[in-house]
Amino acid sequence: MIRSHWTPAYLNHRVRNAVYRLRHPKAPWLTPEAVAFLDKWLGRGHEGIEWGTGRSTCWFACRVGRLTSVEHDPAWFVRTCRRLEKVSAGRVRVLLREASAENYARIADEFEDGALDFVLVDGVSAWRDVCTLAAIPKIREGGLLILDDAQRYLPLDVVVPDAVGSRAEPITPAWKQAVELLASWKRQVSCDGLRATVIWRRPVAASMLKTGGPGA
């Protein structure tokens, strides 16, 4: 059966994506543009959280100083831990949190406000809003919040089959609250025709820019 969204343009995006994945077998499941940006931006001095383990976990392990990686699926948790053995060198902590959104998101509470350089929200779809709200205060000035498959939750001007549409409301009250909190953050949207990855950057206070402080 041919599905209605299987247009020539969509098929072209799928082929391009398959080629990209073949050429970059270790890259996270984000848009190629987001991966390229993060590859340049991340450094060994950085600490972050990711919700949703996978290729991204080993990829971050090779680039950042410390990562807390949160997984909800016990089998996938074991698989991620095994894959990490060769590359992690103690830089990555993988945690299994399967019970509830609150339990899953609560990892953020272990960190002081403004302590994190980056957070990737890419785990359980229905829990991403709670994770995003938990992450926002924890990100330092100049730090990044990365949300994959953002088209499913937020109004964005992108063409992807499962997008809520550019005029829709954020799909839950928590997403609405997140959008309000992120209104002053610089937003970078990338789309490969299959997904949209959004990267927000927390603004740097003017005083920090003048002194060349850590957020600059």
Ligand X SMILES: C[S@@+](CC[C@H](N)C(=O)[O-])C[C@H]1O[C@@H](n2cnc3c(N)ncnc32)[C@H](O)[C@@H]1O
Q: How far apart are CA 70 and CA 50, in angstroms?
A: 6
Total Cβ atoms within 10 A of residue 160: 20
Strands 116-121 and 47-51: parallel
Q: Which C-beta is closer to ligand X: that of 98 or that of 110? A: 98
Among 48, 123, 155, 193, binds ligand X (CB under 6 A): 123
Minimal distance, residue 35 CB to ligand X, in Å: 9
Helix (H, G, I), strand (E, B), or coil: what is residue 85? coil
Asked if 55 is part of the footprint of ligand X (rule: CB under 6 A), the reply reads yes
Among 53, 68, 151, 197, binds ligand X (CB under 6 A): 53
Total Cβ atoms within 10 A of residue 175: 23
Minimal distance, residue 120 CB to ligand X, in Å: 6
DSSP state of 169: P
Asked if 20 is part of the footprint of ligand X (rule: CB under 6 A), the reply reads no
Among 13, 31, 48, 52, binds ligand X (CB under 6 A): 52
Asked whether the beta carbons of 200 and 120 are under 8 A apart, the reply is no
- The residue with tokens 């609150």 is 102
Asked if 76 is part of the footprint of ligand X (rule: CB under 6 A), the reply reads yes
Which residues form the interface with ligand X (CB under 6 A)? 28-30, 50, 52-56, 71, 73, 76, 122-123
